[in-house]
Amino acid sequence: MMKMKKISLIVLVALIMLSVVGCAGATKAADTGTNGEETNIIKVASVTPLSGSQAAVGESIKNGAQLALEERVAEFKELGFELQFAPQDDQADPKIGVAVAQKLIMDNDLLAVVGHWNSGVAIPSSEVYAKGNLVMVSPANTANDVTDRGLENVNRICARDDAQGPAGADYLYNELNAKTVFILQDKTTYGQGVADEFKKQFENIGGEVLGYEGITPGESDFSAVLEKIRVSKAEAVYFGGIYPEGSLVLKQLKEKEIEVKFIGPDGMDSGEVIKIAGEAAIGMFYTSLAADISGTPEGKVFVENYTKMFNKAPEAYSSYGYDAMNVTLNGIVAAIKEKGGEKPTREGIVAAVRATNGFKGLATNVTFNQIGDNTEANIYVLSFEEAKYPASVAKEISAKSYLK
């Protein structure tokens, strides 16, 4: 009898433990939004670097996206849904970007992503989004492979490197009258990609590349490579990369009295350039996929609302975060209507976003082609006439003529 009581007690304890574990598992699933239950919540994430050396641009994109979303909360409420913003920090690191993407696809209420800033982060992360049928609208990724892979869920509202690089080469050769150049790139997917596109075009139109060197992100002393530039007697330097290193190159060129023209890509489009390079930034050029929109009536309202919300002025890619979010939300609304007012599927949103045609944005109009590139994107050449951001627009170029 005692033996039977002991067995019964063991069985009872086991049943209680199984019950507790089962309850805990159910609670965890409910907390993470992965239990398959239908809710009226629609989340949209932004994924950009919010910490580290590239946080300034990452935050400006996030803020623009957040402003756009908050302006449309009431619209979604009328449709019967609670719209929520889910900003994420990818730290400009591909591994962290992938980890964030894996987390996002597990949340059933998370229906879209606005991001990233770095192409080297966007490419592997978007492969994860594709597995979860999660749409991505990029405000700033320029590497050709972002869209050339043909993923149905991946789109971008900005121009590509095979438009931006050649546009910079044409401007340097034809407008700045520099026939020789020394190319630096930061060994990232983005930096090397845009530098290679620049090199190809510069040589095609008759220019001569006198040097091509890679530098390592995070380094701060570029004396060795700058002496190579001096010895080469190149008329110009093209820098393919992001502003932390590019600004130091600018500053050190000035300190070493190496007289060259300087041009870079949109990775140099940040007020941080002035903070790092100071007066050395005056006279440098860069291509950007975004321009100062504060001169338009809509732009003035945007600047006022942005400054009021975040207590700081927007940067160039703030407006692209804003437009990318509105393109995304328009796609979600279209998918809701397609489903008769019910909560849309991720697959429905992927199709609706890719069908974007004739969107009139704050910074850019948007029409996506069959692989998710924006056929209405523009490229701007800008220059610092004084040590003050934003830079002045020197030329506006349609990216369409460069699209294959």
The answer to whether residue 11 sits within a structural domain is no
What digits encode the pLDDT tens for the residues 166-180?
A: 999 999 999 999 999
The answer to whether residue 9 is domain-embedded is no
Q: Are residues 273 and 167 in the same domain?
A: yes
Examine the domain organization and report whether 195 and 298 are in the same domain: no
> What does the alpha-carbon distance between residue 387 and residue 280 come to, in Å, rounded to a whole number?
8
pLDDT above 60 for 75:
yes
Cβ atoms 364, 149 nearer than 8 A: no
Instruction: Report the C-alpha gap between 3 and 11 in whole angstroms.
Output: 12
* Average pLDDT of span 17-32: 33
* Contact of 278 with 251, CB cutoff 8 Å: yes
Q: Are residues 154 and 79 in the same domain?
A: yes
Query: Across all residues in the chain, what is the average pLDDT?
Result: 91
Residue 4's pLDDT band, with cuts at 50, 70 and 90, is very low
Range of the domain at 88: 41-159+294-373
Q: Which residues pair with 156 in a beta bridge?
A: 138
Same domain for 270 and 359? no
Q: How many angstroms separate the CA atoms of 152 and 131, rounded? A: 11
Per the domain annotation, does 320 fall within a domain?
yes
pLDDT-derived band at 21 (thresholds 50, 70, 90) equals: very low
Residues 344 and 264 in one domain: no
Q: Is residue 129 situated within a structural domain?
A: yes
Block residue for tokens 């809710």: 39
Q: Which residue has the higher pLDDT, 10 or 215?
A: 215
**Confidence at residue 72, expressed as pLDDT on a 0 to 100 scale:** 98
How would residue 163 be classed by pLDDT, with cut points 50, 70 and 90? very high
The predicted pLDDT at position 291 comes to 74
pTM for this one?
0.85
Closest CA to 401 of 370, 381, 378: 378
Tell me: pLDDT of 8 over 60: no
pLDDT tens figures, 43-55: 999 999 999 999 9
Contact (CB, 8 A) for 352 and 346:
no
Whether 178 and 235 have beta carbons less than 8 Å apart is answered as yes
H or E segment and range at residue 226 = helix 223-232
Can you say how many angstroms the Cα of residue 266 is from the centroid of all Cα atoms in its chain?
Answer: 11
Check whether residue 178 and residue 120 sit in a common domain: no
Query: For residues 375 and 402, what is the distance between their CA atoms, to the nearest angstrom?
Result: 10
Give the integer Cα–Cα distance in Å for 396 and 390: 16
Residues 353 and 330 in one domain: yes
Mean pLDDT across the stretch 8-24?
38
In a 3-state reduction of DSSP, which class is residue 235? coil
Percentage of the chain with pLDDT > 70? 91
36: pLDDT confidence band, cut at 50, 70 and 90?
Answer: low
Q: Is residue 25 part of a domain?
A: no
Sheet with 208-214, strands from edge to edge, namely 208-214, 180-185, 236-240, 261-264, 285-288, 378-383, 392-398
| Residue 259 shares a structural domain with residue 389 | yes
- In a domain, residue 397? The reply is yes
- Note whether residue 167 is domain-resident: yes
Examine the domain organization and report whether 119 and 181 are in the same domain: no
The structural domain count of the chain equals 2
Q: Are residues 235 and 329 in the same domain?
A: no
Amino acid present at 372 = G
pLDDT score at 295? 86
Please check whether residues 242 and 109 belong to one and the same domain. Answer: no
The reply to whether 78 falls in a domain is: yes
Q: What pLDDT score does 404 carry?
A: 63
Can you give the pLDDT at residue 13?
Answer: 39
User: What distance in Å separates the CA atoms of residue 404 and residue 391, rounded to the nearest whole number?
Assistant: 30
**CB atoms near residue 42 (< 10 Å):** 21
| pLDDT score of 316 | 85
Answer yes or no: is pLDDT of 2 > 60.
no
Task: Tell me the C-alpha distance between 106 and 45, whole Å.
Answer: 13
| Same domain as 149, residue 116 | yes
Backbone angles phi, psi at 41, to 5 degrees: -90, 135
pLDDT in tens, 110-128: 999 999 999 999 999 999 9
End-to-end CA distance of the chain: 85
At 254, which CATH number?
Answer: 3.40.50.2300
